[in-house]
Structure 1
Amino acid sequence: MRLRALHLPTGRPVWSFQRSRPTARTLHDPRLAGSGLVHLLDEGALLALDQGSGREVWRFAPGPLTQGPLVERGTVYAVSHAPEGREGREGRDGWDTVLALDADTGALRWQRQAARCGGAGCGFELLGLRPQGLYVKVPQGGRRGLLGRSSDPHVAVLDPASGRARRHWDHPPLAGADALLIGDHLVLSRPELTAYGLP
């Protein structure tokens, strides 16, 4: 599979980049940062490509990535899940880890084991960065989880400089709802489309 860059006015190909064979957890949504780099997820690695040439500038491979990247204010945020137990065993517990990398160099700024969970429902959803912090949707987490005492879905607000939890928000209930950050509101899809002011 190839990622292709086109010249918008003419549609002329500018460059292409050979990607690894996609998997179910690979997101084909490169994000442009102001630095002239294209940041993307390619199987278990985060990559930055030069926007003009397609040349690989840096690569960071933390393990299985569940979502990403979110590029905000010179930082690339991503989430990885590290299962525990025997290889190939389905539904085993593991840790969701939030990562922050320098968008220009790929240097690791911080990584934090954020919650322990198990099964296919694992995987934080990065909602966005606001003045209050980095908002993440936590689909589940056991009692040993670090972002909350409840196993119910909730929103956590992390310090973007360190990854430490600033706030745990479990109202409104998030079970089964898609969530978006729009301006200063959290918008949920269920039971009906509803917007809530951010805490």
Structure 2
Amino acid sequence: MNAVTAPAEPGLYYDSVLQTPAIRLLPAEYRVSAEPLALVTLLGSCVAACIYDPMLGIGGMNHFMLPGTSDNTRSPSGVPDISARYGAHAMELVINDLLKRGARRSRLQAKVFGGGNVLSGFHTDPIGTRNARFVLEYLSAEGIQVVAQDLGDTQPRKVCFFVQSGRTLVRRLPSTRDDEIVRAERAYYGTLTREPVSGGVELF
């Protein structure tokens, strides 16, 4: 009898720079894992929240595009769209998944990244600023400690989060990558004050 091969985790690859298995997150995605791997994403005006239980060695990351839905936001099927592209739901998805796997809310810690104002044409309360403000307010309301953050400015970022240890690496990307990320974000949106680096953020 032939053995059944389990399907590969979407986005899974081996990162030769990090020297570890990794999962690449795209906008509107999230992952939670207790495996020895890194979650990796690219951020422009989007925000990623890396939330973990340091005692249990389990963590998750989301990548959301907008803070929340409006009452008239609908999916093609006509029902309210509460996908992980929206911050309010993306945060719930990660936190609830962590709790289902045994994490304790009282031990949860967060590191948050992104919210760069990379999209032109948004001069009043731009999307990146709104995303950054939302994630900090949400975590404060939930009583989850933010131990590190790199939010705001106008540069895109690459973020690598090691789920078991909570270690996070952040790279500010050069302007040669800026156009690529802006194009991707503008295409995605079509379907729908600088904060200091603080806490245990490692630049790489």
- Would the TM-score normalized by the shorter structure come out above 0.5? no
Calculate the TM-score normalised by the size of structure 2: 0.29
Q: Which has the higher helix share?
A: 2
Higher RCO (CA < 8 A, seq sep 6+): 2
Which structure's CA Rg is the greater one? Answer: 1
